[in-house]
Amino acid sequence: MAEQTFDAIVVGSGISGGWAAKELTEKGLKVLMLERGRNIEHIKDYVNANKEAWDFPHRGRKTQEMIKDYPVLNRDYPLNETNLDYWVNEKESPYTEVKRYDWFRGYHVGGRSLMWGRQSYRWSDFDFEANAKDGIAVDWPVRYKDIAPWYDYVEKFAGISGNRDGLTQLPDGQFLPPMEMTCVEKDASKRLKEYYKGARQMIIGRTANLTVAHEGRTNCQYRNKCWLGCQFGAYFSTQSSTLPAAQKTGNLTLRPWSIVTKILYDKDKKRATGVEVLDAENNQTYVYNAKIIFLNASTFNSSWILMNSATDIWPEGLGSSSGELGHNIMDHHLGVGAGGKVDGYEDKYYYGRRANGIYIPRFRNLFGDKRDYLRGFGYQGGAGREGYRHEVAELSIGGAYKDALTEPGSWTMGIMGFGEIIPDHANKITLDKNKKDKWGLPVLSFDAELKENELKMRKDMQEDAKEMLDAMGVKNINGYDANGIQGRGIHEMGTARMGADPKTSVVNKNNQVWDAPNVFVTDGSFMTSAACVNPSLTYMAFTARAADFAVSELKKQNL
Amino acid sequence: MNRREAISSVTLLLGGTLLGAEAFLAGCKSPAADLSLSFSADDISFLNEVAETILPATSSPGAKEAKVGDFMAVIVKDCYEGKDQTIFKEGMIKLQEACKKSAGKSFMEATPEQRHDLLVALDKEQKEYQDKKKPEDPTHYFRMMKELTLWGYFTSEIGATKALRYVAVPGKYEGCIPYKKGDKAWAT
């Protein structure tokens, strides 16, 4: 590659990196986007997108061989043969667990924006004010009014379908038409609202799937195979949305197989000058220079880069002067909820495979409610009819049994909680210099767990689920609490938190690293608290806002 | 498979409708699978006949046409843990022995009625065993066979497209529509 100097470098091409590239190139900057893994081209490389169960050797499930090669991925649903290539090679990229931490990564262009769950909810001031109100960690230096216009901005481009529900704890957005609820969900929502006298609601999920054609992309065809890649471009991903927009400007250079090993820093100018890249294929080192750097390598990897940078000035790395770099790991804890059977509705069904569910927004520790823990949780779930795996009365073998199985079974309904994890300094990553990855780079060591607040919350998450399902008319209710290990939410946040004071935070209110104002961190690592809603939409908003600020600062010659 | 499907499969935990093969889907603790495990052509024919007895040809093809026996062999070989492979292989012998006891002949020689009656009895046996057993006790072999038969048939192209309704690209979503008894379930 001939060009060594760019206006801006974006490290990482996932859900926030793609946005940084789009915003910066659209504002006229020459941008180098670096991705540590391979390229996956929109449509062309979605190799399994049209396959059905019978097209896979093991009907899409996992084999013992896969379990051996992917012991971490095996800990949850992601390990299966339908999209195995979209998940990190664990042998090449190991990590250390002081306490068990489930880390599910996608190292390729697009990152996990290819496989994400697409649920997209705004924060409210209940979330931005939480640390200040609870006297925990540090206050967010922004409020909803600062971010609201950016939620508007990113939703309008990304295409979020949802209903305007008028809830203060879950602000409405710029929505495309909502998807429908099933008959059971419609009636259940009515019952829920009546039972709790309007204090609790069940709404249709807000999802980054298009319900109408949008920005040149086709609307969802309801195949429910999003995580295999969508040839219709019907859900938001780097490939379907931000990358084409960036490429259209002619200002983008995308370089896959590029592992950023450190940010290069000029201690006299107090500015980053560029990055050092280890080519993952040929193991050569390259240097790229830029006026602005956006770190979007995903939460832990962005902090890893900071930890390995400017260590001659700060031994713990660039951004470590506050003592908070690597600390305050958060996620959403889940795997707790309830399910049961719904009587009746035998004459009701649905058409299409909805790539979305229902959502019950947070009601705990709000509006006068006070529990023995802080913060709260929401639920995702849905109601559908059993498929061939249903019991048939009196029959178990033979023709009549088979024919009975070809009809849909009973309705069932289930909901699972997503709970907020409080920032705790003790939950941290450090560099493990004794263990190296495939490229000889030190790996991360994880020391994080659910603490008392989360464990207390989980009791309510299960009991409230059971109580609500009962109120909605669900029978034979079974609750569960299975594995609230940090990381399983795949919403990892923290380690480079935002704050008002350089002594207690890593980045400022514009996502600038205090010690290097031309380095912007806008992936999950900047999060100061976690709320209980899926975080990606918030990363998008902060990224667009930070890019706008970065370019205006550049024009003012402040950077 | 996505997280939302994983949530809904938990709803199947109610009332004992969770069938045997889910055990290996939940993740293994001791992956000592015998990858040299093999099924002979006779083994596959036998498994096809067992599967066909559970899900015979009706107005739609049966399990044999969907090659469920072959499917069962692949899954047991590649996906089952070692201990479950042993249970399955020993189970094939146990089924033969049970057949000799009740019908006086091997499964391959028995009549469709004799096969049917035998499997009804074995299914009753596995249900009672599974209901009473502790979580750490082994799975009943017939539970495995039945689960693999159902899974293997209804996710085969024949099962999905001929016994169920398969629409590759629905194009729209209608959440609340009438259902008429006799209409087939969606395959995917």
Sequence letter at residue B48? N
Whether the CB of B93 is below 8 Å from some CB of chain A: the reply is no
Whether the CB of B156 is below 8 Å from some CB of chain A: the reply is yes
Closest listed residue to residue B95, CA positions, set B136, B149, B58, B135? B149
Q: What is the pLDDT of residue B11?
A: 40
Closest listed residue to residue A443, CA positions, set A12, A86, A103? A103
Which pLDDT band holds residue A483 (cuts at 50, 70, 90)?
confident
The single-letter DSSP state of residue B64 is T
Residues A469 and A328: their CA atoms lie apart, in Å, by 34
- The residues in A 173-202 lying below 8 A from B, measured between CB atoms, are 179-183, 185-186
Q: What is the pLDDT of residue B16?
A: 32
Low-confidence ranges of chain B (pLDDT < 70): 1-2, 4-36
- Identify the closest residue of chain A to B157 by CA–CA distance: A54
Residue A115 contacts residue A227 (beta carbons within 8 Å) = yes
CB contact under 8 Å between B17 and A390, yes or no, is yes
- The residues in B 116-155 lying below 8 A from A, measured between CB atoms, are 116, 119-120, 123-124, 127, 150-152, 154-155
Q: What is the pLDDT of residue A37?
A: 98
Tell me the CA distances in angstroms from A248 to A20, A21, A179, A245, B183, one per residue in order.
15, 11, 31, 5, 48
Q: What is the pLDDT of residue A484?
A: 87
Residues B179 and A350: their CA atoms lie apart, in Å, by 8
Phi, psi (deg, nearest 5) at residue A294 = -110, 125
pLDDT tens per residue across span A52-92: 999 999 999 999 999 999 999 999 989 999 999 999 999 99
CB contact under 8 Å between A382 and B173, yes or no, is no
Beta strands A31-34 and A5-11, pairing class? parallel
Quote the tokens at residue A277.
């890249």
Q: What is the pLDDT of residue B24?
A: 43
CB contact under 8 Å between B1 and A58, yes or no, is no
pTM check: above 0.90: yes
Closest listed residue to residue A303, CA positions, set A286, A340, A328? A328
- The residues in A 338-357 lying below 8 A from B, measured between CB atoms, are 339-341, 346-354, 357
Residue A212 has pLDDT above 80, yes or no: yes
CB contact under 8 Å between B8 and A382, yes or no, is yes
Quote the tokens at residue A341.
């059977």
CB contact under 8 Å between B7 and A415, yes or no, is yes
Portion of chain A with pLDDT greater than 70, in percent:
99
Closest listed residue to residue A545, CA positions, set A254, A144, A207, A237? A144
Closest listed residue to residue A144, CA positions, set A163, A165, A172? A172
Determine the average pLDDT of the residues in A504-533. Answer: 98
With DSSP H G I counted as helix, E B as strand and the rest as coil, what are the percentages for chain B, rounded to 5?
55, 5, 40
Give the H/E segment covering residue A22.
Answer: helix A17-26
Residues A521 and A361: their CA atoms lie apart, in Å, by 29
Of A346, A352, A477, the CB nearest to B174: A352
Whether the CB of A38 is below 8 Å from some CB of chain B: the reply is no
B41-54 and B68-78 helices cross at what angle (nearest 10)?
A: 120
Between A and B, how many CB-CB pairs are < 8 A?
228
Residues B158 and B167: their CA atoms lie apart, in Å, by 14
Mutate to test the interface with A, among B1, B5, B7, B11 (most CBs of A within 10 A): B11
Residues A437 and A447: their CA atoms lie apart, in Å, by 19
Q: What is the pLDDT of residue B25?
A: 44
CB contact under 8 Å between B177 and A399, yes or no, is no
Residues A250 and A340: their CA atoms lie apart, in Å, by 54
Which pLDDT band holds residue A391 (cuts at 50, 70, 90)?
confident
Q: What is the pLDDT of residue B27?
A: 37
Q: What is the ipTM of this complex?
A: 0.94
In angstroms, the separation between the Cα of residue A312 and the nearest Cα of chain B is 44
Determine the average pLDDT of the residues in A544-558. Answer: 97
pLDDT tens per residue across span A163-187: 999 999 999 999 999 999 999 999 9
Determine the average pLDDT of the residues in A526-551. Answer: 98
CB contact under 8 Å between B78 and A58, yes or no, is yes
CB contact under 8 Å between A59 and B56, yes or no, is no
* Contact residues, chain B, for A64 at CB < 8 Å: 28, 31, 33, 35, 78-81
Residue A426 has pLDDT above 50, yes or no: yes
Of A77, A399, A415, the CB nearest to B2: A77
SS3 per residue for A159-217:
CEECCCCCECCECCCCEECCCCCCHHHHHHHHHHHHHCCCCCCCEECCECECCCCECCE
Portion of chain A with pLDDT greater than 90, in percent:
97
Beta bridge partners of A381: A358, A415
Closest listed residue to residue A118, CA positions, set A158, A82, A164, A73? A158
* Contact residues, chain B, for A399 at CB < 8 Å: 56-58
Residues A389 and B17: their CA atoms lie apart, in Å, by 7
- The residues in A 107-146 lying below 8 A from B, measured between CB atoms, are 117
pLDDT tens per residue across span A128-171: 999 999 999 999 999 999 999 999 999 999 999 999 999 999 99
How far from the centroid of its chain's Cα atoms is residue A394's Cα? 46
Residues A267 and A12: their CA atoms lie apart, in Å, by 25
Residues A306 and A316: their CA atoms lie apart, in Å, by 9
How far from the centroid of its chain's Cα atoms is residue A277's Cα? 26
Determine the average pLDDT of the residues in A271-293. Answer: 97
Q: What is the pLDDT of residue B109?
A: 97
* Contact residues, chain B, for A408 at CB < 8 Å: 179, 185-186
In angstroms, the separation between the Cα of residue A178 and the nearest Cα of chain B is 11
- The residues in A 354-373 lying below 8 A from B, measured between CB atoms, are 354, 357
pLDDT tens per residue across span A349-386: 999 999 999 999 999 999 999 999 999 999 999 999 99
CB contact under 8 Å between B58 and A346, yes or no, is no
CB contact under 8 Å between A222 and B79, yes or no, is no
- Identify the closest residue of chain A to B10 by CA–CA distance: A339
Of A350, A352, A478, the CB nearest to B14: A478
The single-letter DSSP state of residue A490 is S
Whether the CB of A393 is below 8 Å from some CB of chain B: the reply is no
* Contact residues, chain A, for B125 at CB < 8 Å: none
Q: What is the pLDDT of residue A29?
A: 98
H-state helical runs in A323-449: 399-405
The single-letter DSSP state of residue A423 is P
Determine the average pLDDT of the residues in A206-220. Answer: 98
Whether the CB of B75 is below 8 Å from some CB of chain A: the reply is yes
Q: What is the pLDDT of residue B5?
A: 66
Q: What is the pLDDT of residue A128?
A: 98
Residue A444 contacts residue A429 (beta carbons within 8 Å) = yes
* Contact residues, chain B, for A351 at CB < 8 Å: 170, 172-174, 177
Give the H/E segment covering residue A513.
Answer: strand A512-513
* Contact residues, chain A, for B37 at CB < 8 Å: none
